[in-house]
Amino acid sequence: MGDSLLTDFVPWTTSYLPGRFPEALGIVALYLAVLLGPSFYLRRRLGPRAWLLLHRYFVPAVYILAVWHTFAYGSDVKVGNPIWVTLWAMQVPVAAAFAWRWLAPNFGRHRRSG
């Protein structure tokens, strides 16, 4: 999407001024996702608290940045367009699950005895 490979991977370097901020959001989301991905395989080394902290705060941040990038930069995503309506409709279950997780964090968890 950028002018060159540099602008595809370095935030704020595109020559397209209206797209600088949305493109930067997408690049930052990409880097955070790439860093968080391997944490699944390193979760034992990270420890449960660190891994939970990463996934509780950074995964939603990556998702929000990526969605914001899509709505701000997507040429097909214009207000009132069926794609725009569909994308917003797809956010409803995600937002509901996120709210449920934050409002009832211990619901359904069983404590280990001993």
Domain boundaries, the chain: 1-74, 75-107
Residue from 60, 54, 57 nearest 39 by CA: 54
Check residue 31 and give its pLDDT.
95
Check residue 98 and give its pLDDT.
84
For residue range 50-64, list pLDDT tens digits in order. 988 888 888 889 999
Is the distance from CB of 61 to CB of 32 less than 8 angstroms?
A: yes
Q: How confident is the model at residue 108 (pLDDT cuts 50, 70, 90)?
A: low
How far from chain centre, in Å, is Cα 42? 20
99 pLDDT above the threshold of 60: yes
For residue range 3-16, list pLDDT tens digits in order. 788 888 999 998 88
Mean pLDDT of 98-109: 73
